[in-house]
Structure 1
Amino acid sequence: MAKEKRSTQAKVAPEIADKGYCSSKDTFYYGVKLHVVAQQRPGTMPIPSRVGLSAGSENDLTTLRQVLPFLQDGQLYGDKAYVDSSLRERLSEEQSLELLTPPKKSKGQERLSAAEKLFSEAAGRARQPIESLFNWIEEKTGIQEASKVPSSEGLMVHAFGRLAAAMLLLALNP
């Protein structure tokens, strides 16, 4: 909804939007985050099975914990924001769900081990299709451009309307 300098002045939709930080782009913004759990499809983009929004500042693990009761069996790939060893163990034991994330360096650790680097690369390759899906949604719908949204309701219509359009395009062009 607003980037960089404007992110401190934005006030639209305070019930669901606030100031967040995107580490991959090294930028602050005012808005919401889109979360997707998708089914992997070899050779093509994944199909979303769960979609949600959270405030820009909300920790990704908080959002994940809300959807976890609906997930069973299989593998769940996440980025470094989802690193939590106790959660990983619990999911494995209770839900037969394997949470795979790239390793984070420990405090004071300068480098990852060779095994950690290999695992990180493998996890990145496995996550690539979901990143492609996010990029494709933005390219086809302009979902990130919400600077003219006037209210919380307008933001919900903007986000989920554009997502619906993207899913229709995905369904029609498998």
Structure 2
Amino acid sequence: MYICDIYESSLKFYCQRFSNNANPTFTDQELLTAYLFCGAYQRYFSIKEIHTFTQEYLLSWFPKLPSYQTFNYRLNLMSEAISHLVEHLITSFKPADCDTTTSIIDSMPIITCAGKNKTGKVAN
């Protein structure tokens, strides 16, 4: 209900549809709920894993779940709404003793590739 309330009050203005499919069978509220539930509680972070888990275990909750391609496309269209949802969640659930002038950053970045092989191997 929380996602539906926020969606109806403000998020719907960031992802309005101006097409013949303005009222899809799988709603934007369901899309956000499935995405956030699988990410926060089930610890799935890729869209493919979220869709697969929803399809296998949560189909009774979301009987009109679209295909992976449609799910991914619609989730990409919701990027602005998700941005405003996160902003709303941060301001709503910020602890009273939280200092807004201090930020914490990671000072030890993860090395994603090493320079062991200096010569590239490509076709002649």
**TM-score, reference length from structure 1:** 0.25
Larger Rg: 2
- TM-score, length-scaled by structure 2: 0.32
Write 1 or 2 for the structure with the bigger share of strand.
1
Q: State the structure with bigger RCO (CA 8 A, min sep 6), 1 or 2.
A: 2
